[in-house]
């Protein structure tokens, strides 16, 4: 919703108690008989209309009915304290009282002319009101402000804006009855700190099902205990919700969403007119309440997205293989440390362990890589290594094998091809005095650690990798001991 700054004129304070508050310049019905202007007496004294002029035209009591040219409600010349008055066309009269719900407590008036201000122009018009020849109020409206398609221009908090017509009543924001909003999801009990600042903590999802964008500034969310959350820049990243889009409102630690007992959320306009009210109870940590087929269900959070069609789908875990990193020939070798990228969704599942291995006919031809997914209702992407046995004794035939991922009550398989062996894993080294001396000369008896080459963080390390590192240290120790032994033997000779 667009708010427009009021065009201000300098008005003497003496007669500022009469103000123009609403204008119908473009009615859906005939322009000649359905234009009207609402004025308001904001003082505690009565105002005599015989001293009042609109656009230089004299004001007369009552209204002229266009259908029979009869004068009605012409029994008073005064606008009472805090009372509204409706100005209509003179001449052949008006149809306003037939086509609009005008407050019967308002005062009827008409101009001593065929039309209001020579006809309220659709492209804009200067409306001026004088009392005792002194300017009381004026309005220079513009069509960009609104008032089209049967709506009126009304003044709310000294701002002119598009409104539902309310002649003779307190003005009403057009969205009071036309906020095309509904609550579609909310998270009352997130994992971790409920009172965390956005984008963490508790939140409420709104959906605009209308065809126009809405400004939600000042919209109120209220709980059963009348705690209020007013939508502003401190509760959302964007106060405008686009047509057919979602917007997340964060509580930022305000006690709106209760986790225990029967609770309610009341969505209100800035004027505290109810848009929607929902009730809920028995929330569950990590679950959001989602509206699915007009029924509320506990599901995994889908913040800012369409809710699932079937809430049961969110309780089941799911594992998919995104990629198996093979060579250009799309094959693996015996002895390879195969990497597999997994997408894992953990639902309402108590089990945590997941295993990855390669087998054929229930015989494993790799080490088993194990890891845990702890957080429920979470999406996870992880790359795991799987060490294939070297097959130096050619025990396993080349061909098709099954990559298996199992855990969280799920088991998936993908066929891969394994051909050839990693030769350096199967080479036998003869430990001679010459080999040891040559190896020690290459080392220069010096161990160098390149600080820049060290990783900042170990993301994943399997048992096989740890064993491989330990083997290197052990082999180096044996070489040193053998060298010492040979030196001792030579010294003895």
Tens digit of pLDDT at every position of the chain (493 positions): 444 434 343 344 445 579 999 999 988 777 778 999 999 999 999 999 998 999 999 999 999 999 999 999 988 999 999 999 999 999 999 999 988 989 999 999 999 999 999 889 888 889 999 999 899 999 999 888 878 767 889 998 888 988 888 999 998 765 444 788 999 999 998 888 878 888 888 999 999 998 888 888 888 999 888 888 999 888 899 888 999 999 999 998 887 887 666 788 999 988 778 888 888 887 888 888 888 877 788 888 888 988 877 666 566 788 888 889 988 888 999 999 999 999 888 877 888 899 999 999 999 999 999 999 988 777 888 999 999 999 999 999 999 999 999 999 889 998 999 999 887 878 664 445 455 445 445 444 333 323 233 333 333 444 455 555 566 777 788 888 888 877 776 665 5
Q: Cα dihedral angle (53, 56, 58, 59), rounded to 10 degrees?
A: -40
pLDDT at residue 17, rounded to an integer: 79
Of the candidates 256, 251, 277, 280, the one whose C-alpha atom is nearest the C-alpha of residue 266 is 277
Q: Could you tell me the maximum CA-CA distance found in the chain, to the nearest angstrom?
A: 142
> Cα dihedral sign for 186, 192, 196, 198?
negative
Give dist(CA 121, CA 5) in Å, integer.
Answer: 20
Tell me the residue length of the chain.
Answer: 493
Give the C-alpha separation, 295 to 377, whole Å: 21
The pLDDT of residue 449 is 29
Rounded-to-integer distance, Cα 61 and Cα 79, Å: 10
The predicted pLDDT at position 466 comes to 52
Taking the model in full, what pTM does it have? 0.39
Using left for φ > 0, alpha for ψ between -120 and 50, and beta otherwise, residue 124 falls in left
Q: Three-state SS across the chain? A: CCCEECCCCCCCHHHCCEEEEEEECCCCCCHHHHCEEEEEECCCCCEEHHHEEECCEEEEECEEECCCCEEECCCCCEECCCCEEEEECCCCCECHHHHCCCCCCCEEEEECCCCHHHCCCCCCEEEEEEECCEEEEEEEECHHHCCCCCCEEEEECCEEEEECCCCCCCCCEHHHCCCCEEEEEEECCCCCCCCCCCCCCCEEEEEECCCCCEECCCCEEEECCCCEEECCCCCCCCCEECCCCEEEEECCCCCCCCCCCCEEEEEECCCCCEEEEEEECCCCCCCEEEEECCEEEEECCCCCCCCCCCHHHHCCCEEEEEEEECCCCCCEEECCEEEEEEEEEECCCCCCEEEEEEEECCEECECCEEEECCCCCEEEEEEEEEEECCCCCCCCCCEEEEEEEEECCEEEEEEEEEEEECHHHCCCCCCCHHHHHHHHHHHCCCCCCCHHHCCCCCCCCCHHHHHHHHHHHHHHHHHHHHHHHHHHHHHHC
What pLDDT score was predicted for residue 15? 52
Which candidate, 327, 324, 336, 467, places its Cα nearest to that of 391? 336
Please tell me the predicted confidence (pLDDT) of residue 73.
Answer: 92
Distance CA 385, CA 145 (A): 64
Cα Rg of the chain, angstroms: 40
Is 188:122 a contact under the CB 8 Å cutoff? no
Tell me, what's the pLDDT at 320?
A: 85
State how far the Cα of 439 lies from the Cα of 437, in Å rounded to an integer.
5
């Amino acid at each position: 919703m667009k708010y427009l700054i009021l065009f201000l004129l300098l008005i003497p304070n003496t007669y500022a108690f009469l103000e123009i508050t609403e204008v119908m310049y473009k009615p859906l019905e005939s322009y000649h008989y359905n234009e009207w202007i609402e004025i308001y007496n904001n003082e505690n004294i009565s105002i005599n209309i015989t001293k009042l002029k609109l656009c230089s035209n004299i004001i007369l009591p009552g209204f002229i009915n266009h259908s029979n040219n009869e004068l009605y409600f012409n029994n008073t010349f005064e606008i009472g304290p805090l009372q509204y008055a409706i100005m209509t066309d003179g001449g052949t009269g008006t149809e306003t009282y037939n086509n609009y719900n005008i407050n019967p407590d308002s005062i009827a008036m008409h101009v001593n002319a065929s039309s209001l201000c020579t006809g309220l122009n659709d492209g804009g018009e200067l409306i001026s009101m004088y009392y005792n020849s002194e300017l009381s109020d004026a309005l220079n409206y513009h069509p960009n402000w609104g008032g089209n398609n049967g709506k009126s221009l009304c003044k709310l908090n000294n701002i002119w804006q598009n409104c539902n017509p309310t002649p003779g009543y307190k003005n009403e924001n057009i969205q009071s009855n036309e906020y095309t909003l509904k609550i579609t999801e909310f998270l009352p009990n997130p994992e971790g700190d409920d009172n965390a600042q956005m984008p963490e903590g508790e939140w409420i999802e709104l959906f605009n099902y209308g065809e126009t964008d809405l400004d939600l500034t000042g919209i109120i969310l209220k709980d059963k205990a009348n705690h209020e959350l007013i939508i502003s820049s401190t509760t959302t990243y964007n106060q405008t919700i686009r047509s057919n889009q979602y917007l997340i409102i964060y509580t930022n630690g305000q006690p709106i969403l209760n986790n225990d007992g029967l609770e309610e959320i009341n969505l209100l306009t800035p004027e505290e007119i109810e848009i929607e009210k929902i009730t809920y109870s028995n929330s569950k940590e990590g679950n959001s309440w989602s509206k699915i087929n007009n029924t509320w269900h506990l599901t995994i959070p889908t913040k800012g997205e369409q809710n699932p069609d079937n809430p049961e789908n969110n309780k089941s875990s799911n594992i998919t293989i995104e990629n198996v990193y093979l060579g250009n020939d799309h094959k693996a070798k015996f002895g390879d440390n195969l990497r597999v990228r997994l997408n894992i969704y953990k639902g309402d599942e108590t089990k945590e362990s997941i295993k990855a291995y390669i087998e054929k006919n229930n015989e494993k031809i790799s080490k088993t890589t194990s890891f845990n997914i702890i957080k429920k209702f979470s999406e996870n992407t992880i790359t795991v290594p799987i060490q294939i046995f070297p097959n130096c004794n050619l025990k396993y035939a080349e061909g098709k094998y099954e990559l298996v991922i199992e855990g969280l009550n799920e088991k998936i398989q993908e066929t891969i091809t394994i051909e050839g062996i990693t030769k350096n894993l199967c080479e036998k080294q003869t430990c001679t005095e010459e080999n040891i001396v040559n190896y020690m000369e290459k080392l220069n008896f010096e161990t160098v650690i390149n600080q820049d080459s060290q990783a900042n963080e170990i993301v994943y390390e399997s048992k096989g990798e740890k064993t491989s590192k330990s083997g290197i240290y052990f082999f180096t120790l044996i070489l040193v001991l053998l060298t010492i032994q040979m030196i001792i033997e030579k010294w003895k000779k």
